[in-house]
Structure 1
Amino acid sequence: MIDRLCMVFILMTSFSIIGQKDSANIVKRTYTTAVLPHDIHIVIDGDLSDDGWNVVEWDGGFTVFDPNNGEPPSQRTKFKITYDDRFLYVAVRCYDSVPSNIEKRLARRDNFAGDWIEINIDSYNDKRTGFSFNVSAAGVKGDEFISRNGDYWDDSWNPIWYTAANIDDEGWTAEMKIPFSQLKFGKKQEQVWGLQLNRRYFRGEERSLWQPMQRDAPGWVSEFGMLKGLIDIQPQKQLEIQPFVVNQFDTYPAEENNPFRDGDDFRLNGGLDAKIGITNDLTLDLTVNPDFGQVDADPGAIALDGFQIFFEERRPFFIENKNIFDYEFADGNDNLFYSRRIGRDPQGFVVGNDVGFVDQPKNSTILGAAKFSGKTKNGWSLGLLESVTGNMYAEVQDTLGGRRKELVEPLTNYLVGRVQKDFNDRNSFVGGIFTATNRNLPDNLDFLRKEAYSGGFDFRHSWKERNYYLEGNLVGSHIVGSEEAIERTQKSITHLFQRVDAGHVEVDSNRTSLSGTGGKLEAGKAGGGNWRYNGGVIWRSPELELNDVGFLRQADEIKQYASLRRLFLRPTNFFRTAQMELEQYTTYDFEGNYNRIQYEFQGFINYKNNWWTEVGAAHKPRIYSNTVLRGGPRWRWSEENFWYLFFGSDARKKFNFTLGYVNSQAAEDNFSLVRYVLRFNYQPFDAFSLSVSSEYEENPNKTQYVMEASFNNTPRYVTANIDQRTFNTSIRFNYSLNSNLSIQYYGEPFISRGTYTDFNYVEDPIAEKLKDRVTLYSDGQISRINGGSSYMVDEDIDGVTDYEIEDPDFSYVQFRSNLVLRWEYVPGSEIFLVWSQGVVGFGDPTETLGRNLDNQILGQKKENTFLLKATYRFIL
């Protein structure tokens, strides 16, 4: 492994000294604003005739960013900026030679459709973060918080500001009025902020910028020009209070004799969100009894490998300022903070011979949460989050008709602290994170961990105009609990200390704590010229555990990786842009087992007509897994090859589509995957849009894990040939009556069916040939009684059943939908009217997907939720 790492860094060093041409030095532009006289006012109506605009000069000189970088744009753009003691005012004139062809598509907030103009402001002047305000020719507003030098744009940030647009015979105009309270800056006599304006000319699919920028730049915010002339503006502490009230009515199929499922429920709920400016830089967000009823349902998913499924955060309180709290320390979704743990499904359950009916809560109630976050003028990014979820009880009716409550989720406190500090002229930063989870555990929930702590240190250093970088992190975890809780952790699929052939880990049933480490070290080239590359190493020790308030899929892994990418940034007569990339990685466990190596190629091309193609292929000559047999010995898969091809039409058109195909094949037909993808968007008129995304896949596997049995006091690992087929479709439409009133629908049917045949048991799990890895049961060894739900195995054929295999066939069906009317009746205050439907069921595995769709979704009475939520945002 050391030889491989040395080779990676030698290659990286070699490429760094090849005569590549870095970005040419571009002169930073400056716009100098002036204060608006107290007796002059600007009305935000899209009309630029107000006298207030005469106090400042126009600036223009935009240049093309994409596609013909550096050339004059097809249409001219100019702007003005002025201010008073509370607001920043922006006026933009977007010339258009054919005003009747300006694309003015209506959409919900933060849907950037048609022609638009955007202003980006780096009021911290840290060259990494910024605030983005966008308005389309139809008057639809958008706003995002920019972080990681443009790598992350958070559209959940919804500040209060004012804008309007107007189309005239010269093109179209836009006005913006941005409160200083929505920006963050320190106290100085003169503010110097980063500034960029970005125009999308829709017909030509052209982006033009005020501050010229090379396509090979290493970032976005670091390339901004400067805004000067802001004299003696005072930082303004933000104080916003947003109470809400919710009426909810649920209907569902009644269950006979079940007192908890009588057909309908009604509840009235209320809560409060608040935003308090401690300083102009730092904000305290509070929420009491939050409601997330208008949030989209999670997509359907099923995991046969036993690992947990990662779902994106959708709840507004946790999404806002998410970038400050993120600590992605490895690859994939591994993170020290995974906010979906807060308010999770209760982990306890009710059992007993006297249990009749149970009313199990669907999620844990968040009693309250507070989030202190922001960034100071000195380059300190700070974040502190505290949340408490309450005791959750399942209500039980016993077989004699008596009632009682049982605790299924304890009172739990979550704490997350995050800090980063910029230095070296904002080219470098160091940071840290600390998390704590503490549960008030009674005896019946002693299988949960009582305490869980994690911490980390991270850094990034960039040099040579930020084109080169070195970054890394180090994390540690410590969990405390009962002997049962720690033993369950050791045996979980994340760890599997019980693996029979592992010499470096073993289950210790007397332990009451566990500590582990992980980390990452990476170096590479992020900008300048046409080449990009990186390489590094990631490790997760066997004892690392983050799943109390973080996300960790698998521990006990060391991974080396490297990639090399070639960009084609200058348009030709054939394409606008293109790129090719080569990737390679290997993995080991902490015992030194060499588990995997993969080589992959990826390519992308955006043609001159804005159609595009994406293609990729990979070869995996070595695939070993420590987890397939769920605590059994290390398993070998046959070598695998896969490839994919996607292509799509011009996304600007009223109808556009994507077609995709994925094919994976393992040697000896060990397993395979075939996936078909169809996506399309249709916007027949400006106010209405429809999108559909469908996938169908077939995923057969001759050695799908089924169970572990005991034969003659030795473990027997049973696998089988599975024929798995999955279909899902997500449907969305949006109808906008105006820029503040819209109706949106989301629906997704999900069906997955698996049937098992050719049962077999593991003979030699790391044999080269598949026929040597497993042995098929003969007809005399396995049988199934008519109508029975299990297979009987008489392995030694002595007439006595040695063990049973419960029928693993399945057909899982789920449907979720939301119909939401959203009205922002005043800026920042909203009314939601929501109708949600859902059904979850189990179909007949012997039936087709289509018949199960008909029987279990179309033919079933669904659960309905009708919700009315009203908020009002007080600005004090």
Structure 2
Amino acid sequence: MDSTRRRPRQPTHCRLFRHRDDIWDDDFVDVWIDSFHDHRRAYEFVVNPLGLQGDGLATDNNEDFSFDTVWYSRGQINQQGWVAWFAIPFKSLRFTKAPVQTWGITLQREIHRANEKSFWPYTTRREEGIISQNGEIRGMENISPGRNMQFIPYGLFRSFRGLDLRDPNVPGFNSRAAKFDGGLDSKFILKDSLVLDTTIEPDFSQVESDEPQVTVSQRFEVFFPEKRPFFQENSNYFDTPINLFFTRRIVHPQFGSRLTGKIGKYSLGMLLADDRSPGLLVPDNDPLANKRAYFAIGRISRDILKDSNIGLMYTDREFDGSFNRVGGVDATIRLSKTVVSRFQAVESSTQQTDGTYLAGPAFEGDISRFGHSLNADLHYRGRSDGFRTETGFDPQPDIHNEDLNVWYNFWPKKYVLRWGPQFETYRIDDHEGNRLNWGYIPEFFFEMPRQTRLTLGYAEEAELLRPRDFSVLAQNQDFLRNTKLFFFRTAPNKQIIFDIDWRWGRRINYAPPSGVDPYLARRNSVTTDLSIIPTSHLRVDNTYLWFRLGDFNDRGAAFNNHIIRSKWNYQFTPKLSARIIMQYSAVLANPAFTSLATTKNLNADFLISYLVHPGTAVYVGYNSNLQNLDHDLALDTDGNLVRTRNSFINDSRQFFVKVSYLFRF
């Protein structure tokens, strides 16, 4: 397949040779293939002007680029534009056994400097989603993916030294000069459309560290997305309105098995895995030492009506006699071309390790309208006091939450590509009738050429804290907070991508000094990203994050949180690359205004990758971390490690070599 763009007066925008699946800031051509022709899921195959690849699995609500398969591509820049060439083996796709096949297909071209997306067939914003508007490939006869089995064994050598805190009263170090490990990933295609993936002793040494986020003085757990390939692939089979399966809950698996696919109108997802982390984080003499948790996840859905489905989901986590089990029903109903409704109702049953038993229902529902101009979403979230999910991500029980979000798009003919107002309002109550939160958030946004976006916003919000949330409180206490927002992003040329997010106003200090009530503080935060692409082979991504809570009487800051991250990626060839990540993070705390400790951390991560194709690769890496800890690992009166002012110790380091090879039958 060839794709040529003819724009001789505007040179093709291709910044550099990139790592696989990292080409989204370039111009590209994207082929969507709906091999089951059900208008619900599609493969994506993406090529940039240099022939570099990206591939993924997509639904109308989500794109998952953790999917990797073997296919071939080339790209060539010429005077008229550029040409992309695709060769996708049937063995790399899943489809039915029908003697004559009809598939859905969409072709997409993206031109970044103009913020332009073009589709074949014509795709309208007046209908939600792309896959539901596919064109068709007809007349394919007697095709088959053939026998499809894959085995990816790997070998790992590593040398490491790390802080051992299993016994918090006797901290020390754990080290090995040389350790050899190995494991196996496998994939089996069953009945042409079901995929059985298994992993034994999986290793994720080459996976990039998390992007920086503010985690200090947060009331609820902060969400970090999954980056491990085994858990990313085909994860959309487990997606439901309530997040019942957050794969990062499986921290240190020894084995895992996943079955996903589609038979007729039924989509299936099942996963079994263990997690050794609960038994590895306690001293050897602890009764839980070397014990592991077990996860079982199951979901089945059936297509109904047009572009709608109804499903069942069940999750279970078992550990040393305790359990958390959740089951329920969900549905997605397309009411019209522009209106979609989703809902889910589940019940949980939890036996905790201390013998406490909890149970209760949870509900989630929304109705969304997506159009060329008017867009709206009405959302409801309900959680009983006894609802828990230990396999998912749902940090706030005992709530009723209503949320309305409306935005309108204006489409000028000059200068501004799109602009409009957006308004959100919400309210959260508990089951005792207490209003926990309410707020309204008006914004204006402007989109311009060269990926330029400007957003101005304001949030007025109230929050109620209860004695059950903070034991230091004698009674319920209400706080009125606000936030002003300024966001700007632009890519003025092929070498620079820049954005800044600045927020300021009033915010609660959730980490006051011991014995002091939480209080309102002056908040300032800035997150800025600067990507520099000086050559076609080098990309440098820089992030600076600053978060400050200050006293309203100008007596000083409760804390300043600084995070500086710089990632350098050099792509020698499409197969060979080197990556360096350096990150400094610090919480500079004032004990007069916060219970937080001053912490400083410096991390360096180096990786050389030689990726022949997905599954066949060589990785050589080194990671080192420094913290401001006492050299003798002394403890303070509260049993915490003593922090120093400016001296550091190396609390972890690792060197590794990992080799894997794909056998495909």
Q: What TM-score do the two structures reach when normalised by structure 1?
A: 0.68
**Cα shift readout 1:459-518 (whole Å, capped 9, x = no counterpart):** 1211222x1122211011101246x242xxxxxxxxxxxxxxxxxxxxxxxxxx221111
**Cα shift readout 1:303-361 (whole Å, capped 9, x = no counterpart):** 435643332212111111111113341xxxxx211211213xxxxxxxxxxxxxxxxxx
- The answer to whether the aligner puts 1:593 opposite 2:434 as a matched pair is yes
**Cα shift readout 1:241-277 (whole Å, capped 9, x = no counterpart):** 000000011246999xx99637653210000000100
Residue 567 (structure 1) shift: 1.3
Aligned counterparts of 1:454 and 1:869: Cα–Cα separation in 2: 38
Aligned counterparts of 2:152 and 2:534: Cα–Cα separation in 1: 37
The aligned counterpart of 1:831 is: 618
Aligned residues: 638
Contact 2:100-2:139 within 8 A present in 1 as well: yes
Residue 603 (structure 1) shift: 2.2
SS at the partner of 2:309?
A: strand
**Cα shift readout 1:817-847 (whole Å, capped 9, x = no counterpart):** 321111112453111111112123459xxxx
Counterpart of 1:864, as a letter, is R
Decide whether aligned partners of structure 1 residues 626 and 128 sit closer, same or farther in structure 2, where only a CA change above 3 A counts. farther
Contact 2:466-2:473 within 8 A present in 1 as well: no
Aligned counterparts of 1:630 and 1:702: Cα–Cα separation in 2: 24
Residue 871 (structure 1) shift: 0.6
Decide whether aligned partners of structure 1 residues 107 and 584 sit closer, same or farther in structure 2, where only a CA change above 3 A counts. same
Decide whether aligned partners of structure 1 residues 747 and 456 sit closer, same or farther in structure 2, where only a CA change above 3 A counts. farther
Aligned counterparts of 2:434 and 2:138: Cα–Cα separation in 1: 59
Counterpart of 2:5, as a letter, is C
1:278 is matched with which residue: 171, 174, 190?
A: 190
Residue 579 (structure 1) shift: 3.1
Decide whether aligned partners of structure 1 residues 629 and 305 sit closer, same or farther in structure 2, where only a CA change above 3 A counts. farther
Taking the TM superposition and a 5 Å limit, the aligned residue runs for 1:175-186 are 175-186=85-96
The aligned counterpart of 1:682 is: 532
Greater percentage in strand: 2
Aligned counterparts of 2:442 and 2:657: Cα–Cα separation in 1: 50
Residue 183 (structure 1) shift: 1.6
The aligned counterpart of 1:694 is: 544
Bigger shift: 619-628 or 641-650? 619-628
Aligned counterparts of 1:201 and 1:102: Cα–Cα separation in 2: 8
Decide whether aligned partners of structure 1 residues 630 and 228 sit closer, same or farther in structure 2, where only a CA change above 3 A counts. farther
Taking the TM superposition and a 5 Å limit, the aligned residue runs for 1:272-671 are 272-298=184-210, 299=212, 302-305=215-218, 307-329=220-242, 335-343=243-251, 364=252, 366-376=253-263, 378-390=264-276, 392=279, 407-408=288-289, 410-425=291-306, 427-440=307-320, 450-465=322-337, 467-481=338-352, 484-486=354-356, 513-527=357-371, 529-547=372-390, 549-568=391-410, 570-608=411-449, 610-621=451-462, 623-625=464-466, 628-630=469-471, 634-650=475-491, 652-665=493-506, 670-671=520-521
Aligned counterparts of 1:518 and 1:823: Cα–Cα separation in 2: 47
Decide whether aligned partners of structure 1 residues 192 and 575 sit closer, same or farther in structure 2, where only a CA change above 3 A counts. same
The aligned counterpart of 1:198 is: 108
Counterpart of 2:570, as a letter, is Y
**Cα shift readout 1:120-140 (whole Å, capped 9, x = no counterpart):** 111121212111101111121
Aligned counterparts of 1:374 and 1:701: Cα–Cα separation in 2: 55
Residue 651 (structure 1) shift: 6.0
Contact 2:282-2:289 within 8 A present in 1 as well: no
Decide whether aligned partners of structure 1 residues 633 and 323 sit closer, same or farther in structure 2, where only a CA change above 3 A counts. farther
SS at the partner of 1:657?
A: strand
**Cα shift readout 1:161-194 (whole Å, capped 9, x = no counterpart):** 1111223454432221112122221121221111
Decide whether aligned partners of structure 1 residues 458 and 133 sit closer, same or farther in structure 2, where only a CA change above 3 A counts. same
SS at the partner of 1:286?
A: strand
Residue 865 (structure 1) shift: 1.0
Contact 2:451-2:490 within 8 A present in 1 as well: yes
Contact 2:435-2:464 within 8 A present in 1 as well: no
Aligned counterparts of 1:207 and 1:231: Cα–Cα separation in 2: 33
Contact 1:119-1:133 within 8 A present in 2 as well: yes
The aligned counterpart of 1:400 is: none
The aligned counterpart of 1:174 is: 84
The aligned counterpart of 2:634 is: none
The aligned counterpart of 1:124 is: 36
Residue 608 (structure 1) shift: 4.2
Counterpart of 2:157, as a letter, is N
Residue 296 (structure 1) shift: 2.2
Residue 813 (structure 1) shift: 2.0
The aligned counterpart of 1:869 is: 658
Aligned counterparts of 2:576 and 2:468: Cα–Cα separation in 1: 50
**Cα shift readout 1:101-120 (whole Å, capped 9, x = no counterpart):** 56362111111243322211
The aligned counterpart of 2:640 is: none
The aligned counterpart of 2:576 is: 741
Contact 2:462-2:478 within 8 A present in 1 as well: no
Counterpart of 1:110, as a letter, is D
Greater percentage in helix: 1
**Cα shift readout 1:56-100 (whole Å, capped 9, x = no counterpart):** xxxxxxxxxxxxxxxxxxxxxxxxxxxxxxxxxx23333342697
SS at the partner of 2:572?
A: strand
Aligned counterparts of 1:652 and 1:481: Cα–Cα separation in 2: 56
Matched-pair identity in %:
21
Residue 224 (structure 1) shift: 1.5
Decide whether aligned partners of structure 1 residues 219 and 853 sit closer, same or farther in structure 2, where only a CA change above 3 A counts. farther
Counterpart of 2:246, as a letter, is Y
SS at the partner of 2:417?
A: strand
Decide whether aligned partners of structure 1 residues 285 and 839 sit closer, same or farther in structure 2, where only a CA change above 3 A counts. same
Aligned counterparts of 1:862 and 1:437: Cα–Cα separation in 2: 32
Counterpart of 2:525, as a letter, is R
SS at the partner of 2:87?
A: strand
Decide whether aligned partners of structure 1 residues 666 and 551 sit closer, same or farther in structure 2, where only a CA change above 3 A counts. closer
Counterpart of 1:662, as a letter, is R
Decide whether aligned partners of structure 1 residues 394 and 155 sit closer, same or farther in structure 2, where only a CA change above 3 A counts. closer
SS at the partner of 2:625?
A: strand
The aligned counterpart of 2:638 is: none
Counterpart of 1:747, as a letter, is M
SS at the partner of 2:491?
A: coil
Decide whether aligned partners of structure 1 residues 665 and 687 sit closer, same or farther in structure 2, where only a CA change above 3 A counts. same
Contact 2:16-2:536 within 8 A present in 1 as well: yes
- The answer to whether the aligner puts 1:219 opposite 2:129 as a matched pair is yes
Residue 860 (structure 1) shift: 4.2
Aligned counterparts of 1:543 and 1:642: Cα–Cα separation in 2: 33
**Cα shift readout 1:613-634 (whole Å, capped 9, x = no counterpart):** 1121111256455654148555
Aligned counterparts of 1:418 and 1:337: Cα–Cα separation in 2: 10
Decide whether aligned partners of structure 1 residues 537 and 174 sit closer, same or farther in structure 2, where only a CA change above 3 A counts. closer
Contact 1:99-1:168 within 8 A present in 2 as well: no
Aligned counterparts of 2:472 and 2:558: Cα–Cα separation in 1: 24
